[in-house]
Amino acid sequence: MNELYIIAAGSMVAISCGLLGCYLILRKMAMVGDAISHAVLPGIVIAFLIAGNRDSVTMLLGAGLIGVFTTFLIEFLHRKGKLQSDASIGVTFTWLFALGVILISVYAGQVDLDQECVLYGEIAYVPLDLWILEDGTNLGPRTLYVLSFVLVGVVTFILLGYKELFLTTFDPAYAAAIGISATLWHYLLMGAVSFTTVAAFESVGAILVVALLIAPPATAYLLTDDLKVMLLITVGLGVVISILGYYLAASIDASIAGAMSTVAGLLFALAFLFSPSHGIIFKKQIAEPTPDALSS
Amino acid sequence: MNDLLQFLSFEDPNTRYVVTGTVLLAISSAIVGSFTFLKKKALVGDAVAHAVLPGVCLAFMLAGNKNPVYLVVGAFITGWLSLVIIDQIVARSRIKEDTAIGLILSTFFGLGIMLLTKIQHSGNAAQSGLDSFLFGKAAALVGTDVIVFSTISIILLVVVFIFFKELTLIAFDEDFAKSIGFPVRRLELVLTTLTVMAVVIGIQAVGVVLMAAMLITPAAAARFWTDQLKVMLLLAAIFGAFAGVFGAYVSYTAPAMPTGPWIVMIISIIAMFSFFFAPRKGILYKMVKQRRIQKKIRDENILKMFYQLGEVDGDFFSSRTSDILAERRELASGQLSSGLSRLKRHGYLKSEHGSWQLTIEGKNKGQRTIKLHRLWELYLTQYLHIAPDHVHDDAETIEHIITPELEAKLEKLLEYPDVDPHMSKIPYES
Amino acid sequence: MIQQVDNPVLEVHDLTVSYDKKPVLWGIDLTIPRGSLVGIIGPNGAGKSTLIKSVMGLIPLGSGYAELFGKSLDEVRDQVSYVPQRGTVDWDFPASVMDVVLMGRYGKLGLFSRPKKADREAALTALRQVGMETFVNRQISQLSGGQQQRVFLARALAQQADIYFLDEPFAGVDAATEKAIITLLRKMSDEGKTVIVVHHDLQSVETYFNWIILLNTRLVASGPTEKVFTQQLLQETYGGKLTLLSEVGNLLKKGEFPNREKTI
């Protein structure tokens, strides 16, 4: 049963991250996603200090807002400060992450976070952290509720905003020209990434969230030319990664999140090499696109 | 305080080791990082830093101990490998560079974490302290470690020195370098190797997770102070060294604390300070400059007003009250009076019983501004074919920026015209 | 030679646009009559793309304004269509031809609504007009340059707008596609639509367009082709930048001057 809980938690994290990650990689914002997942750490610590526990929704909100703030800060350094974009990202997230780690070590007593666990989480605790009501009813692992909430949120966001996200990702100039604000959807997307990384933090930690944001979408990108299929493949990969990662970690007694990332990387490698449409082994055999046919 | 003095006296040989080591590591990262920064490949350093973790772990697993040489070799191999893989992914598939970097960064690191936790769970006593590679522990820089890492650090700096000209060129303009026959690929290899090496030794002090900051942040900070590469490198090195010393100090007072976050904190603060306050490029500086320009524009406009009133009256030097001035042009009363006072201070106006008059300098300045305005209007109508009723706003701005050299060119080009498009006379200096 | 018209479909008034504090367009004043096929001509960096982008609201204006059908862009957006340069988009994106052309309908759809049958019909019609109806489900990564351009054009056509802005639609496109496109544009112009094209090839200007805008940071000329496409005006356009203007532009940039004085 515990296994199931852990794998379920892992799958939900992987799916939420993967779905959003599809848009991140198509927008060439993979590293901004990386930055956000690091930058939320001080927000989490501060929220922890204020709220006193990790249950509150306020933690999710407050820390998530820091993620959006990070996006602003990166833009600010780049636009106003004229700092090149890669350095804007690098300076911002390292600073915020360092801040987070310092806060953890300084407030070690009051904050139930371990500075190494923030890197790779501890998903194995999921079955142990139970949501028990005042009357003693055991509703099961608390984390699963939080993650389901986030997953539903992410899916709803993508469904409702499907065509706006599609357009602003593919051609932001045309979007602006027909009156759809690319900026708005950018911040909405980054906001969604923020909240998801905060929720995922506990289970898989900062760095591994990045693996789940990027690797499954990148793998799916090599397997299909249709965005809808890409999103579905990412979901499937998320579940597979979670299952395989769990058993890999169990067999060698190592971090589950670390194992999940490793599996994600291996799956990508397989796609990179063997994808029927884009794998390098088969690429030579794919016909060149037909030369421009004459039309009336 | 006592601690600080004790620390700075460097009496304790351990302190000397740690400080020397940390400073050298910081300097070599800052300098090598400056080149990757200039090539706009700053985040690649992040990928390398994360990618060395599995190498360190594998080396440990194979060697059975924490011999620094083995760890360095292991780290170097996976670090290098990560860069090769990123390149291959970008070259051979439609995956874009940022995705490749993030992918390799996180999956290699994940592998590293998996191995690290496996080692930790295996109960091998020799592994304690291996996790200090995550966030760095300058205090661990003792004895032979320092010698190894410091030597490597110095070698790095020497190599940079030898290849300085070449590295500068490929950082600045790769295509040009290729066109004049530079072996660009080989130089890229040199830079790549330097970067990986700098990371491998730097993680001792700062750790894997925050290593990127040691490559990027000193360079970013230094960039705001200068446009000259040599100065930038020097500043980056100084900033890095300073942060490094601070990290060593933290290790001295609280040996259990990871030093990485503190070093990064300091260098980030230095960077933020640079972004805001550096002269010419700093954000605050630019804001102040804007303010100054606004004042100059306002002052010149006030003098213009006087001149124009003088054109109407026939008398440039008669007294005007601030009410009459306020009527002529919309100015917030506060701005008008501060402008008037400023102009008086600088000798362009004099005042008497609450009314104001131009001095000779004031008249000349107002006259020149009007002249430039009218010349520019003429230029716009003649050379840009802009309608006469559209040129006024443009001239209102440009009249404040034309230098005497441009003024001369403008006059000559328009052949010393008498009137502007609105038939107002163009005043030349008598 | 700047000809102004009454009841213009596009009016640009005293438009100044800067990039990085340096003026790229200076004081542009022009009007375009409805139904023209307009070519915007000028050397590289003359501000041709910038002109369209600023009319489309993609770039902030330093001063001046642009009006379409006598109104601001926001009021008439669904009547205005835009075909950006092909290179601005990543053609590796996982989308089909139909997906892209349907985007032209998004302006008419609300926030949460899905494209309906009528929208698909409009998309198919547009594809037929550019001769790409057999490519409906093809992935865009498999298209050649000319095909990509046609898809972009179809997207704009699907909007069923009245005025079309095209940015270098003939760049890197084979001769057959170019011919197909210009035939289509002429047809649209005959039907009373206004088509404004940033064009880079002087050889074809005279045959393609009936109205020409000559641009080199400032407006050199705007009017019917026979009146504007003259040796003298072309020389003025291509004969290098106005040095004085450039120098002032540099001063504005170096001194970080505000481009237009707000009423101070």
Tokens 């481009």 found at:
C259
The DSSP code for C87 is G
Q: What pLDDT is recorded for position A289?
A: 46
Look at phi and psi of residue B415 and say left if phi exceeds 0, alpha if psi is from -120 to 50, else beta. left
Distance separating alpha carbons of residues A35 and A193, to the nearest angstrom: 11
Which CA distances in Å does B424 have to B317, B393, B409, B415? 20, 16, 21, 16
Does C176 touch chain A if contact means CB atoms closer than 8 Å? yes
Q: What pLDDT is recorded for position C239?
A: 83
Closest among A22, A55, A56, A21 to A36, alpha carbons compared? A21
**Residues B245/B191, Cβ–Cβ less than 8 Å:** no
Q: Looking at the DSSP assignment, which residues form a beta bridge with residue B352?
A: B355
**Residues A54/A45, Cβ–Cβ less than 8 Å:** no
**Residues B53/B208, Cβ–Cβ less than 8 Å:** yes
Q: What pLDDT is recorded for position B1?
A: 67
Q: What pLDDT is recorded for position C251?
A: 86
Q: What pLDDT is recorded for position B165?
A: 86
pLDDT band at A294, cuts 50/70/90? very low
Closest among C224, C245, C177, C236 to C33, alpha carbons compared? C224
Gyration radius from chain C CA atoms: 19
Closest among B367, B363, B364, B352 to B317, alpha carbons compared? B363
Q: What is A106-131 written as a DSSP string?
A: HTTTT----TTHHHH--GGGGGGSEE
Q: What pLDDT is recorded for position A290?
A: 43
What are B186's two structure tokens?
């080989």
Residues 6+ apart with CB under 8 A from B134: A116, A119, B53, B116, B207, B208, B209, B258
Portion 292-331 of B in contact with C at CB < 8 A:
293-294, 297-298, 301, 330-331
Look at phi and psi of residue B10 and say left if phi exceeds 0, alpha if psi is from -120 to 50, else beta. left
pLDDT band at C264, cuts 50/70/90? very low
Portion 158-217 of B in contact with C at CB < 8 A:
none
What are B161's two structure tokens?
């020195």
Distance separating alpha carbons of residues B391 and B403, to the nearest angstrom: 19
Please state the φ and ψ torsions of residue C64, each to the nearest 5 degrees: 85, -175
- For B389, nearest residue in chain C (alpha carbons): C14
Does B395 touch chain C if contact means CB atoms closer than 8 Å? no
Q: What is C99-136 written as a DSSP string?
A: HHHHGGGTTTS-SSPPP-HHHHHHHHHHHHHTT-GGGT
Q: What pLDDT is recorded for position A287?
A: 47
Angle formed at CA B339 by CA B333 and CA B345, multiple of 5 degrees: 140
Put simply, the answer to whether C27 touches B94 (Cβ < 8 Å) is no
Residues 6+ apart with CB under 8 A from B229: B34, B38, B168
In the sheet where C63-68 sits, what is the strand order?
C22-32, C10-19, C63-68
Tokens 């009527």 found at:
B327
Put simply, the answer to whether B402 touches C258 (Cβ < 8 Å) is no
Which CA distances in Å does B34 have to A86, A287, B160, B246? 13, 44, 11, 21
Q: Report whether pLDDT(A96) > 70.
A: yes
The ipTM is 0.90
Give pLDDT tens digits for C114-133. 888 999 999 999 999 999 99
Portion 54-83 of C in contact with B at CB < 8 A:
63
Q: Is B420 exposed, middle or buried (0-12, 13-18, 19+ CB in 10 A)?
A: buried
Q: What pLDDT is recorded for position A143?
A: 80
Helices (H), B278-403: 283-313, 322-328, 333-345, 360-383, 392-398
Amino acid identity, position B31: I
Among candidates B286, B297, B390 on the partner chain, residue whose Cβ is nearest the Cβ of C256:
B286
The percentage of residues in chain C with a pLDDT greater than 90, rounded to a whole number, is 58
Count CB-CB contacts under 10 A for residue B200.
27
Tokens 């006598």 found at:
C70
Give pLDDT tens digits for C215-246. 998 899 999 999 999 998 998 888 877 888 88
The whole-angstrom distance between residue B408's C-alpha and the CA centroid of its chain comes to: 37
Angle formed at CA B42 by CA B38 and CA B43, multiple of 5 degrees: 160
Amino acid identity, position C133: E
Give pLDDT tens digits for A133-146. 767 667 677 788 88
- For B274, nearest residue in chain A (alpha carbons): A81
What are A276's two structure tokens?
């029927």
Closest among C165, C160, C215 to C195, alpha carbons compared? C165
Looking at every residue in chain A, the average pLDDT score rounds to 85
Among candidates B94, B301, B391 on the partner chain, residue whose Cβ is nearest the Cβ of C264:
B301
Give the pLDDT mean for C85-113: 89
Alpha-carbon gap: B211 to the closest alpha carbon of chain A (Å): 9
Which CA distances in Å does B416 have to B25, B371, B388, B425? 65, 11, 19, 12
The helix/strand/coil state of C195 is: strand
**Residues C108/C137, Cβ–Cβ less than 8 Å:** no
- In this structure, is the dihedral angle defined by the CA atoms of residues B406, B412, B413 and B419, taken in order, positive or negative? positive
**Residues C176/C170, Cβ–Cβ less than 8 Å:** no
Most B-contacting residue of C93, C244, C259 (CB-CB within 10 A), to test interface: C244
- For A223, nearest residue in chain C (alpha carbons): C94
Put simply, the answer to whether C248 touches B331 (Cβ < 8 Å) is no
Most B-contacting residue of A95, A122, A223 (CB-CB within 10 A), to test interface: A95
Alpha-carbon gap: B350 to the closest alpha carbon of chain C (Å): 23
Portion 186-225 of C in contact with B at CB < 8 A:
218-221
Among candidates B118, B131, B213 on the partner chain, residue whose Cβ is nearest the Cβ of A253:
B118
Count CB-CB contacts under 10 A for residue A50.
11
Q: Report whether pLDDT(A176) > 50.
A: yes
Look at phi and psi of residue B280 and say left if phi exceeds 0, alpha if psi is from -120 to 50, else beta. left
Put simply, the answer to whether B114 touches A262 (Cβ < 8 Å) is yes
Put simply, the answer to whether A253 touches B103 (Cβ < 8 Å) is no
Closest among B291, B285, B245, B243 to B267, alpha carbons compared? B243
Against chain A, the chains showing at least 3 CB pairs within 8 Å are: B, C
The counts of H helices and E strands in chain C are 10, 9
The helix/strand/coil state of B255 is: coil
Which of A60-69, B274-283, C186-195 has the weakest average pLDDT?
A60-69
Looking at every residue in chain C, the average pLDDT score rounds to 89
Which CA distances in Å does A140 have to A1, A130, A131, B400, C188? 11, 5, 6, 72, 65
Please state the φ and ψ torsions of residue C127, each to the nearest 5 degrees: -65, -35
Please state the φ and ψ torsions of residue A125, each to the nearest 5 degrees: -75, -15
Distance separating alpha carbons of residues A102 and A116, to the nearest angstrom: 12
Distance separating alpha carbons of residues A47 and B130, to the nearest angstrom: 31
Flag residues of chain B having pLDDT under 70: 1-3, 6-7, 125-127, 141-142, 430
- For C221, nearest residue in chain B (alpha carbons): B385
Alpha-carbon gap: B339 to the closest alpha carbon of chain A (Å): 29
Q: What pLDDT is recorded for position B282?
A: 87
Does C202 touch chain A if contact means CB atoms closer than 8 Å? no
Put simply, the answer to whether C260 touches B298 (Cβ < 8 Å) is no
Most A-contacting residue of C20, C93, C160, C256 (CB-CB within 10 A), to test interface: C93
Q: What pLDDT is recorded for position B260?
A: 85
**Residues C99/A225, Cβ–Cβ less than 8 Å:** no
Alpha-carbon gap: A213 to the closest alpha carbon of chain B (Å): 9
The residue that leads in pLDDT, C106 or A60, is C106
Q: Give chain C positions within 8 Å (CB) of A167.
A: 103, 106
Count CB-CB contacts under 10 A for residue B91.
10
Against chain B, the chains showing at least 3 CB pairs within 8 Å are: A, C
The residue that leads in pLDDT, A46 or C65, is C65
Q: Give chain C positions within 8 Å (CB) of B286.
A: 256
